[in-house]
Structure 1
Amino acid sequence: MTRGGPCRIGVDVGGTNTDAAIIEISASETESRGVRASSKTPTTVDVTSGIHTVIEDVLSKSSVDRRDILSVAIGTTHFVNAVVEADARRLSRVAVVRLCGPFTKMLPPFSDFPPELKDIMSGPVFYLDGGLEIDGREINPLNHAQIKETVRSIKAAGIDKVALVGIFSPLDAQGLHEETCKRLMLEEDPSLSVVCSHTIGEIGLLERENATILNASILNLARRTVRAFCEAMKKLHLDCPLFLTQNDGTLTDAATAAEIPIKTFASGPTNSMTGAAYLASLDRGESRARSETQVLVIDVGGTTSDVCALLPSGFPRQAPNFVEVGGVRTAFSMPEVLCVGLGGGSRVIYDQASDSVQVGPESVGHYLTSQALVFGGDVMTTTDIVVASGKADIGDAKRARAISPALVSKARMQIKKILERAVEDMKVSDLPVTLLLVGGGSIVQMDNLEGVAECIIPPHHDSANAVGAAIAKVSGEVDIIEILDGRDEKTVLEDAKQKAIDTAVAHGADRNDTKIVSVDKLPLQYVTNKATRFVVKAIGRLAISGDRFPFTNGASSREESEVYTNGESHPEPEKQYNNKTSESLQSRVKFSAFVDIETYQPHVRNGVWYISPLDLEFMATGTGVLGTGGGGSSYLEYLRCLESLRDSGKKMRVVSTSYMKDSDICVFGSWYGAPSVGNERLASGTEIMDAIDVSVRIGGHSHFEAVIADEIGGGNGLSTFPTSVYYDIPVVDGDLMGRAYPTMEHGTPYVYGEPITPCAMADARGNTSVVMKAESNSRVETMLRTQCVDLGLSIAISATPLTGNVIKQYAIPNTVSQAWFIGRAIHRARKSKSNLVNSIFDTTPGYLLYTGKIIDVKRDVQEGYTMGQCTIVPLSNEEQDLDDPAKNTFDETRCLIIPFQNEFLYAAYADIANPDDSSKHEIICTVPDLISILGQDGEAIGSQDLRYGLRVNVIGMAAHPLWTGDARGLKVGGPEGFGLDMEWKSIGPYQEPPSVIDEFNRDV
């Protein structure tokens, strides 16, 4: 065997097959891109023997000298399967330590875990001193004695896995508090395995903590698996570094993967996408696709196809916000992949009565080679249609030719439509598409696709996943929040870029090849100091060093047997759910999937509505719709409500405004500040009550009988419920806005002259402040914001209490009920596959303003508010022609623009060729009427979550006459209040929302 050029081996371990490819680096400019050989073998139960077989095969096929192999990179789904299957044999209990000072007790760890995983993983929880503010200040110093006592308690519980989570730890590149605490814990007990959250995820404490817990729980499995991989390499006589591929398409060394396995969870789809781009030579600059088209990849298997958009960096577009793994909400990087029911084994069904053809989603799957017509079976598949079309020579072509030409034509048209819809759904811009087809089933693409400039099936397309692993690069990412007030933004950004490059180099990238590939600038809402989040990513090719195996000891036979000798199947999660007791059901986060919504009735007795977990779930969805783009996410407040309902032993209850006496006192308290901060520095849960206590005391009251929300939109629409439990008082079915608005002065009682002061604020440290008097309501707002910045940009506030007669005169009635009815309508429509928008309007009158796709979003910060504009264009005929009973058809050729100041301000038709030309705008709806943008699942999309490509419905609902029937209301809540030079544009008359209490009440 002669020596050749240096090579890399890539391996991808899938659920069905294990693929391998060997690439000669110096031959990457050839037509084959240096791929010397590729191979495929069934994935084995023990995983490693399949890897051994497939690598041995490519080495044999390529005749490459083993001494020329520079590295082996493996992508695997082994770790994520343990979580998805809730396999107690492969998961460990985890103790959670939060460095948070007085904060975060509002929501304890494991709050939104499914019961199966919580029972397996949950260990003791500790809240310790430490953590950082958004600007880097310490919340309070670490307490060494506290840490030592915590270690002793963890040891006494028989646990050795720890998830260590510090507030705003991702903002500190050195992980100051987390790393120091970890060192102190290990000095006390070296047997502990401590996972620091800043190495796992980004801003958003609960999601990052969840990912850290999952990572800690699979550590034993990961370490044994990686040792087994290393042992397989030793048996192959490969003396080179071992890497694993990560979710974002980059590499991590074996030692790091063994400690942070969660970052490898979704590496399979990513490997396919990056391998496709490499095989199609899109990285060589020879194709004009990079600059003149956008690149999409479709990986076609036997049953389904994965569709992903490639960014200019060559990496897949990452999923926004959060992803769920095994039912656990996490926030680590994962590729955004659309899965459609089209593959080489998709069934083709001809309906003679309607003379129509359906392709998929049913498939013969692994039985293609025995059940398809061309293989002697009796099932017509897409492969048969390909052969009948003369596009491939597979099996017995004579059997395919028996299919009538008309049926073949109809089937091809259906395949074309499925692919075109998938392309349209994943587009990231309006540029033409370069489409890369990989995978064994890629032959199903036979016809030109609308909007696709070029369709490429690259060489070795059926091993693109292994090629992607072999050519994977190294990344470094920095996610920081900077205060730009008084600073040069360019200098701040350049410093962040350099940190990203240095991080990539520290991870093993060649500094000479490392470059910045993405910069995201995200202004924070509701702040006045130009606080801005920067997410900067750098990538570079792997710099091979002289390092050898990070793991030098192979797994013992006992260890391997613990991981691999379980041949039995794992119980399906859905089957487990069906046997759960009502007590276990009560511990869930999502209840709509386990309750018959059609027959469910809320518990209302003698004019009092007693709230259930399902009621809260409905209201969480409904308050999102009523948030009109703002108000923050309802999710965290929903979880807080569940915790309060489970743990208090008290009842949550709602009463109508008429239930109150004129002399009764009604309080309110709400969250105030930047949602981005509130999502990281979770509250202690006492802040609202502290603010209420101060406002009540200063207001001279000795009692109060009820609580009301200041805004029903977003999280504040639910914040009344834990407050009501704490004081054991009812929530009033109404609020002071009827929607979400950006300032305190938008409360209806204050618009009509009721006092807003004294107005109190409080934080978790015990700090309280009071605005006793101000020259105007707008001055109250500026004074509150100044204090809010000093206290860390997230506090609670409470204005002076209101009497029952004021509530009855100036509150917007029945809005808690309105949120419930809207939420129930959306959940019912999802289950019945009926029209989501019509379902909402069946209970809450409104108007469909537009159906389309977002093609542009602009954002900026002005005077502390996130300002911007969203542009939506009509759906094409093909996009509307979906076999979906929930579809909407909307006959409009113009685009729609929606400017926003946190909340959506107005909607206007515009010229699709020049949407910024205001002379051609036709205003169709303005504040104070409600404008909401809904995703395809009916969930509201906040202004911070708008992005290109989302298919949406825009709905409008009329505002209460308190906003529209008097000049005072329009002056504050209408266009004039936001500096807009336009008249209020009504979408129709207001109808009071129905009352849950009136509809379901039973007097007993």
Structure 2
Amino acid sequence: MTKTSGPYRIGVDVGGTNTDAAIIDISATDFESRGVCASSKTPTTTDVTSGIHTVIENVLSKTAIERRDVLSVAIGTTHFVNAVVEADARRLSKVAVVRLCGPFTKQIPPFSDFPPALKDIMAGPADHSDILGLEIDGREISPLNSTQVKETVKSIQDAGIKMVAVVGVFSPLDHKGLHEEACKHLMLEQDPSLSVVCSHTVGGVGLLERENATILNASILNLARRTVRAFCDAMVKLRLDCTLFLTQNDGTLTDASTAAELPIKTFASGPTNSMAGAAFLASLDRGANRATSETQVLVIDIGGTTSDVCALLPSGFPRQAPNFVEVGGVRTAFSMPEVLSVGLGGGSRVFYDPSSDRVHVGPDSVGHYLTSQALVFGGDVMTTTDIVVASGKADIGDVKRAQYISGNVVNKARAEIKKILERAVEDMKVSNLPVTLLLVGGGSIVQMDDLKGVAKCIIPPHHDSANAVGAAIAKVAGEVDRIEILADRDERIVLEEAKRQAIEAAVARGADRKDVKIVAIDKIPLQYVTNKATRLVIKVVGRLALPDPSASQNTETRTNEASTDSAIEEPETEAKKQFHQNSAPEKLQSLVKYSAFMDIDNYSPEVRNGVWYISPVDLEFIATGTGVLGTGGGGPSYLQYLQCLESLRQPNAKGKMRVVAPGRLKHSDVVVLGSWYGAPSVSGERMPAGREIMTAIDQAVKTSGYTHFEAVIADEIGGGNGMSTFPTSVHYDIPVVDGDLMGRAYPTMEHGTAYVYGEPITPCALADGKGNTSVVLKAESNRRIETMIRSQCVDLGLSIAVASTPLSGRAIKRYAIPNTVSQSWYIGRAVHRARRSKTNIIDAIEQFQPTPGRLLYSGKIIDVKRDVSRGYTMGHCIIAPLSNEEKDSNSLSPTNLGSDESRCLMIPFQNEFLYAAYADIANPDDTSRHEVICTVPDLISILGQDGEAIGSQELRYGLRVNVIGMAAHPLWTGDERGLKVGGPEGFGLDMQWKSLGPYQEPRSVVEEFNVAS
């Protein structure tokens, strides 16, 4: 090839099978070739670096490019994530964890939800430090305690550990990791040999998930440092005196020295490189083919075994996965693209069944054996590549061998391939707009026919090198994540200042100031506040700036002189070899998924003499069931589930976590109530200290004048509060009553059935993890109690515990909704059974869940609107019916309600779902055409395809969901007092209660499984 003008950038993508490289003339990117001068592919090598060396030599040899004209090399690698996924003890280190949390977070210690294999490898000493820690608004929880830091370092030294994860409450916000950095500085002063990773550099808000990611990062630090040194060594051997970058999960670059310290940010760089490369090759950055108000862009990267599908945002970057992602069975929170992988590739096997005249395509694949096993290459396996050749769509291998495939098989196989791709496209769409589809990857030839819903299909130039091109053209990012009080301030000025800071952050990392653009602005109002406290997240990106010829070269970030310690692989001792074999990937099941290791069908809970003794399996079932009964609110059950497990693991906990039927109570018994109160965005970060509920209960009991109590009952069974009684049960050694005061989740305390019918809430106590306690002795109304508690909640950091005055056994038996703990258990068991047997989850719930429930709708969310008003998350979602192509054998339709499937379903919410109404799919906001089919107080739950409940805060476009309804208890529906508070009127809705049908009391686990002795 003739040398072009230059300068040049080289991109490398290290995959599991092949290592790709591409070299780009960055002065020629406006041409049709997008400046791609050459590309190459070579098998990935065990040591990784020799493959990189080979493939870069290949692209250089294909051109007349001078090595001095190469400005940078950017590498994307899966080497680090593979060490975690494989639980490879040879490449992972033990990690000490230091939490800067004040008195909080202690109820869920580090490593709580790690799979056993990884926990055994990684878990070092963990310290819940009373030093430092911040509230969400930046106030200190506790001041710095240097003496405690020194004691912590001494304990880490005594354990012989060098890797440390420092995790501070709310450190990722606009505090710049203030306390984490201060702690790190003190630790290194005492022991410079420690490697300290601060969590604010790793992930966002969500303490447990960020901590997990920080632990993983610390554990692979030694591997990352050796690997990056080896990469630098390869650069020297290649005689490339230029900057070395690694690509990150979000499609941006990080310099080699930073990647060596934050390798976790490269975990998902492979798919991101491919998607970014596709966008570049299709000229999205020049305005062509890009997402607009009238179209959306999806990328499919078709390899030998799978096809990876991702939606591109208008910025050209992949849509990021919501919430959390699991890496090696560990729940983490860091930026990763949302990618759907389906079993279709160039090597997918094609099976023909003559008895049924049906053809199946994949998911089995011959993979990298394609060139020896496919028919056109002399093998005996029919693959999709053979179908492409037989269709006359490609001239590959021995074409004559494909001609023996019958036309019937070819046509049916093409139809199956078309169906798989159409389903993948539909599942990953971000709206109902027409799709522009970019096809890349070596297997993209398998797409032979027009796809429904795809307006334009583009195979860009150099499509088979998109992953390496994506690495070569990756940009630099800058981000601001902060809490701002917007009351009495000009929001535009605040926003502009935040944008400016994000731009400066990108420029400081090497971005060209003239090219920096804002790609995302998220404004997230905080719940339960009245001062318009809003979290601002702003991200900008820009291309790398050209180097200043007059500037001195930075040898650290350019050649990173070769180190003698550059070997990536370590010798494997016999002990490590044995451990590695015992830590195979299939054993990476989460420690908290107890049901995965047992026969669910034959499991029976332990119930003796009318007392149900709770096991970890029971807790897992109940957690799933309380999510369903949360009806969109109640907060997530996961953290509370972990807290319950920790309580159950206490040495003295045996037999204390137990449940009894309401009928077992005496009229004179005293029953306490305690629950969590506040914003989920806070409770997921400043996790409980563990004593808040008990402190509130003690104060409520004392203030109410009681001297004893015999049981505890949940305020609400829906969501996390449905499980908050179990740690209380262990602490006081008292049983949990099988029931609650709502039968679901509701947004306020006044929604308790006992309070609706005149039982008192006050004296009502509240407490936080620092021991701050307050009591509402009396208020003019239950509504006033709510506003008084809310103001205290804001002052104490937006997450507290609340306990109302205890109730008598007589009141509980009269006003509590019975058997709702059992109901949660039955729902959860049904969901887990259906998952295990791969049967329809809704059928399973309706069969085993005894309260009459019904499927209201099955479809896909096509619109979500939300706002925060009066401290509540308000809004609605719209669900449209699935097309025939989207349906599978498990898809349902709401025919039991006689619905017209040409209509959509609208569900408004105020934290919880308020009602469901059929609407005109062309104009769903036209309320005059709504047909209301269900309202509060009846229960409406939206479930994902796995049967887990989806909260109102988790709703988003494209989710395939099932909507179910359940009848409410007569305490809500049989009296005007119940309907006035818990029905449509209580939420300001101008409509009558719409009943789903008669209520039937849930079955009782105690009655069904009791064994008398």
TM over 0.5: yes
Other-structure match for 1:620: 623
Match of 1:772 among 759, 773, 777: 777
**Partners of 2:905 and 2:500 in 1: CA distance:** 40
Matches within 5 A, 1:516-531: 516-531=518-533
Greater shift in the superposed pair: 540-549 or 642-651: 540-549
**Partners of 1:224 and 1:872 in 2: CA distance:** 50
Match of 1:275 among 274, 277, 298: 277
Amino acid at match of 2:96: A
**Partners of 1:529 and 1:723 in 2: CA distance:** 34
Other-structure match for 1:863: 870
Amino acid at match of 1:554: A
Other-structure match for 1:749: 754
**Structure 1 position 852 matched with structure 2 position 856:** no
**Partners of 2:572 and 2:599 in 1: CA distance:** 40
Other-structure match for 2:432: 430
Match of 1:957 among 966, 977, 999: 966
The answer to whether the 8 Å contact 1:527/1:674 transfers is no
Cα distance, 1:728–1:92 mapped onto 2, change above 3 Å? same
TM-score (normalizing by structure 1): 0.97
Cα distance, 1:132–1:86 mapped onto 2, change above 3 Å? same
1:502 Cα offset (Å): 1.9
Other-structure match for 1:35: 36
Match of 2:441 among 439, 444, 460: 439
Matches within 5 A, 1:381-460: 381-460=383-462
Other-structure match for 1:905: 914
**Partners of 1:946 and 1:523 in 2: CA distance:** 16
1:50 Cα offset (Å): 0.2
**Partners of 1:948 and 1:429 in 2: CA distance:** 7
The answer to whether the 8 Å contact 2:229/2:565 transfers is no
**Partners of 2:110 and 2:1012 in 1: CA distance:** 40
Cα distance, 1:745–1:563 mapped onto 2, change above 3 Å? farther
**Partners of 1:439 and 1:992 in 2: CA distance:** 56
Matches within 5 A, 1:97-176: 97-128=98-129, 129-176=131-178
Three-state SS of the structure 2 residue aligned to 1:533 is strand
Other-structure match for 2:886: 879
Matches within 5 A, 1:934-945: 934-945=943-954
Amino acid at match of 2:12: V
1:3 Cα offset (Å): 8.0
1:396 Cα offset (Å): 1.0
1:182 Cα offset (Å): 1.1
Q: What is the CA RMSD across the aligned residues, in angstroms?
A: 1.8
Unpaired runs of 5+ residues, structure 1, are: none
**Partners of 2:709 and 2:564 in 1: CA distance:** 67
Matches within 5 A, 1:784-803: 784-803=789-808
Three-state SS of the structure 1 residue aligned to 2:334 is coil
1:668 Cα offset (Å): 1.0
Three-state SS of the structure 2 residue aligned to 1:283 is helix
**Structure 1 position 739 matched with structure 2 position 727:** no
The answer to whether the 8 Å contact 1:626/1:713 transfers is yes
Match of 1:813 among 814, 818, 829: 818
Cα distance, 1:564–1:418 mapped onto 2, change above 3 Å? farther
Other-structure match for 1:715: 720
1:557 Cα offset (Å): 5.2
Q: 1:269-303: CA deviations, max 9, x gaps? A: 00000001111112112446545321101111111
Unpaired runs of 5+ residues, structure 2, are: 548-552
Cα distance, 1:573–1:963 mapped onto 2, change above 3 Å? farther
Match of 2:661 among 652, 656, 663: 656
TM-score (normalizing by structure 2): 0.96
Q: 1:13-49: CA deviations, max 9, x gaps? A: 0010000000000110111111000000000001000
**Structure 1 position 973 matched with structure 2 position 1010:** no
Three-state SS of the structure 2 residue aligned to 1:618 is helix
Three-state SS of the structure 2 residue aligned to 1:103 is coil
1:515 Cα offset (Å): 1.4
1:351 Cα offset (Å): 1.4
Cα distance, 1:908–1:818 mapped onto 2, change above 3 Å? same
Other-structure match for 2:940: 931
1:834 Cα offset (Å): 0.8
Three-state SS of the structure 1 residue aligned to 2:648 is helix
Three-state SS of the structure 1 residue aligned to 2:632 is coil
1:572 Cα offset (Å): 6.9
**Partners of 1:793 and 1:342 in 2: CA distance:** 48
Amino acid at match of 1:338: L
Cα distance, 1:451–1:548 mapped onto 2, change above 3 Å? farther
Three-state SS of the structure 1 residue aligned to 2:151 is helix
**Partners of 1:636 and 1:598 in 2: CA distance:** 27
Greater shift in the superposed pair: 503-512 or 686-695: 503-512
**Partners of 1:340 and 1:297 in 2: CA distance:** 13
Three-state SS of the structure 1 residue aligned to 2:196 is strand
**Partners of 1:225 and 1:11 in 2: CA distance:** 15
Greater shift in the superposed pair: 811-820 or 177-186: 177-186
Matches within 5 A, 1:578-589: 588-589=591-592
The answer to whether the 8 Å contact 2:176/2:200 transfers is no
Identity within the alignment, %? 76
1:485 Cα offset (Å): 3.0
**Partners of 2:679 and 2:388 in 1: CA distance:** 55
The answer to whether the 8 Å contact 2:230/2:566 transfers is no
Three-state SS of the structure 2 residue aligned to 1:879 is coil
Cα distance, 1:2–1:309 mapped onto 2, change above 3 Å? closer
Cα distance, 1:826–1:888 mapped onto 2, change above 3 Å? farther
Greater shift in the superposed pair: 961-970 or 650-659: 650-659
Three-state SS of the structure 2 residue aligned to 1:182 is helix
1:577 Cα offset (Å): 6.9
1:476 Cα offset (Å): 1.4
Cα distance, 1:916–1:3 mapped onto 2, change above 3 Å? closer
Other-structure match for 1:673: 678
The answer to whether the 8 Å contact 1:933/1:940 transfers is yes
**Partners of 1:569 and 1:251 in 2: CA distance:** 37
**Partners of 1:495 and 1:221 in 2: CA distance:** 39
Match of 2:294 among 292, 298, 301: 292
1:553 Cα offset (Å): 3.7
Three-state SS of the structure 1 residue aligned to 2:677 is strand
Question: Alignment length, in residue pairs?
Answer: 996
Cα distance, 1:430–1:209 mapped onto 2, change above 3 Å? same
1:766 Cα offset (Å): 1.0
Match of 1:603 among 594, 603, 606: 606
**Partners of 2:244 and 2:982 in 1: CA distance:** 61
**Partners of 1:558 and 1:392 in 2: CA distance:** 44
The answer to whether the 8 Å contact 1:338/1:426 transfers is yes
**Partners of 2:702 and 2:477 in 1: CA distance:** 55
Three-state SS of the structure 1 residue aligned to 2:24 is strand
The answer to whether the 8 Å contact 2:324/2:332 transfers is yes
Amino acid at match of 1:912: I
**Structure 1 position 644 matched with structure 2 position 651:** no
Three-state SS of the structure 2 residue aligned to 1:856 is strand
**Partners of 2:422 and 2:945 in 1: CA distance:** 18
Match of 1:629 among 607, 632, 647: 632
The answer to whether the 8 Å contact 1:529/1:864 transfers is no
Q: 1:463-520: CA deviations, max 9, x gaps? A: 1100000000011122223333333322322222222212212222112211111112
Amino acid at match of 1:821: Y
**Partners of 2:139 and 2:476 in 1: CA distance:** 32
**Partners of 1:303 and 1:966 in 2: CA distance:** 61
1:570 Cα offset (Å): 9.0
**Partners of 1:739 and 1:761 in 2: CA distance:** 22
1:554 Cα offset (Å): 2.1
The answer to whether the 8 Å contact 2:227/2:566 transfers is no
Amino acid at match of 2:912: E
Other-structure match for 1:199: 201
Other-structure match for 2:319: 317
1:589 Cα offset (Å): 0.8
The answer to whether the 8 Å contact 1:3/1:68 transfers is no
**Partners of 2:394 and 2:704 in 1: CA distance:** 82
The answer to whether the 8 Å contact 1:301/1:441 transfers is yes
Matches within 5 A, 1:145-544: 145-287=147-289, 290-544=292-546
Greater shift in the superposed pair: 987-996 or 743-752: 987-996
The answer to whether the 8 Å contact 1:248/1:335 transfers is yes
1:150 Cα offset (Å): 1.4
